[in-house]
Amino acid sequence: MRGVFDKELSFECMKDIFGIFSGREKAPGVAKEGRSVPRVEGRNPTILIVDDNHDNVFLLDSIITSNGYNTYTAYGGAEALAIIEEKRAELDCVILDLMMPDIDGLQVTKKVKRDKKTKHVPILLLTAKQRDRDEVAVGLDMGAEDYLTKPIEAEELLARVRSIIRAKRLQDEISRVNAHLEQLVEERTIEIMLTRDSAIFGLAKLAEYRDPETGGHLARIKNYVKVLSEELRRFPKFEEILTDEYIGNMYQSSPLHDIGKVGVPDHILLKPGKLTKDEFEIMKTHTSIGGDALASSERMFGDNSFLSMGRDIAYYHHEKWNGSGYPKGLAGDSIPLPARIMSIADIYDALTSKRVYKDAFPHEKTVSMITEESGKTLDPFIIKAFTNVQDVFQEIRANIDEIK
């Protein structure tokens, strides 16, 4: 490997030229000729020097340290990568020779810039030959910040290092500000979501309170929906649809399914016996009342996945797979997925709950009644998921029992 500086200069001559051993006193953080070192978080910057030529490393280290910088040195790519991994938090620049045996400068650059933990570490490439320019271009494309061609001038080297460190300092400050803003946004988002969820649950409770026999229903429904959705996600047909966000929105919006019951007269909603045909037609309007109310909110507040899901659940949770349901007689996959999931959760809870007109059915009988409807009134895929988690449904039913 040829030297860093002009090869016609002797080693002793180079030391004299650069004043390495001049003995001149320098104040901390002040570089040659009074230039200020761009301090980082109250300390002098730290540079890693990488070259397989020990003389080059010695000279570069002498120049860098004599101008107020702290240094680490490495004599090959493997050693450099180990230091970068260990010292990444304190490194402000890596001066990296391209031409090295085994692991060369391009390989080091590639590994550093592809690793999320080290990609922020700036790299200044050193190349010995004009024909290495293609490799320099590759290194810059990989993310290296700058390069120098040997033989180099000490002042130019120091100027490039200062420039790189200033840019890193600004980038670090931007990253800190962004991290702080993201934290503030996250905290505010959590606060808004908690407020929203509390308001939604409270609103849904208004409908539940009108029916004193449905205590615990909303809490159970949320959990049924979550468990059923997570199991259904295991099926290839649904794995891309049922993201964590999608399931989270279903979990929170599911209590809105019967919100339209606030518009059903008490003498029908609270009737202790079987409804007449006309009464049942009025009862069925709770789907449209609830869906229309949420659709109105959606128009007021703009496109919102949470409100859209709540609207679909309220409108269509009484639709049937074979098209015999209400309010629109939708069939098969035309019924929104959240409504199909809600339908099974709602049926299970209704069958296992005691009413003035019926006793609660046992878990085993309920499961049998639901599975018999597979491919008829209920989605067969969701029925399969339900049978897989039926024991979890039973646990939810037992743990969140009726409010006495």
User: Boundaries of CATH 3.40.50.2300 in the chain?
Assistant: 11-179
**Residue 152 banded pLDDT, cuts 50, 70, 90:** confident
Helix (H, G, I), strand (E, B) or coil at 147: strand
What H or E segment, with its residue span, contains residue 148?
Answer: strand 146-149
- DSSP for residue 209: H
Listed in sequence order, the residues at least 6 apart from 397 whose beta carbon sits closer than 8 Å to its beta carbon are 220, 348, 349, 352, 363
Q: What is the pLDDT of residue 6?
A: 45
Q: What angle do CA 198, 289, 197 make, to 5 degrees?
A: 10
Q: Is the pLDDT of residue 34 over 60?
A: no
95 closest CA partner among 152, 161, 149, 142: 161
DSSP secondary structure letters along 16-39: HHHTTT------TTB-GGGPBP--
Q: What is the pLDDT of residue 17?
A: 38
pLDDT tens digits, 59-118: 999 999 999 999 999 999 999 999 999 998 889 999 999 989 989 999 999 999 999 899
Q: Is the pLDDT of residue 158 over 90?
A: yes
d(CA 99, CA 56): 13
Q: Is the pLDDT of residue 332 over 60?
A: yes
**Whole-number percent of the chain with pLDDT over 90:** 53
Helix (H, G, I), strand (E, B) or coil at 93: strand
Q: Between the CA of residue 208 and those of 55, 183, 257, 260, what are the distances in Å? A: 82, 37, 11, 11
d(CA 60, CA 95): 9
Q: Is the pLDDT of residue 286 over 50?
A: yes
pLDDT tens digits, 335-356: 999 999 999 999 999 999 987 7
**More confident call, 206 vs 97:** 97
210-399 fold: Hypothetical protein af1432 (1.10.3210)
Scan for tokens 């990253």, then name that residue: 175
25 phi-psi bin (left φ>0, alpha ψ -120 to 50, beta other): beta
> What CATH architecture is 11-179?
3-Layer(aba) Sandwich (3.40)
Q: Is the pLDDT of residue 388 over 80?
A: yes
Q: What is the pLDDT of residue 2?
A: 44
Q: What is the pLDDT of residue 149?
A: 87
Q: What is the pLDDT of residue 193?
A: 66
User: Boundaries of CATH 1.10.3210.10 in the chain?
Assistant: 210-399
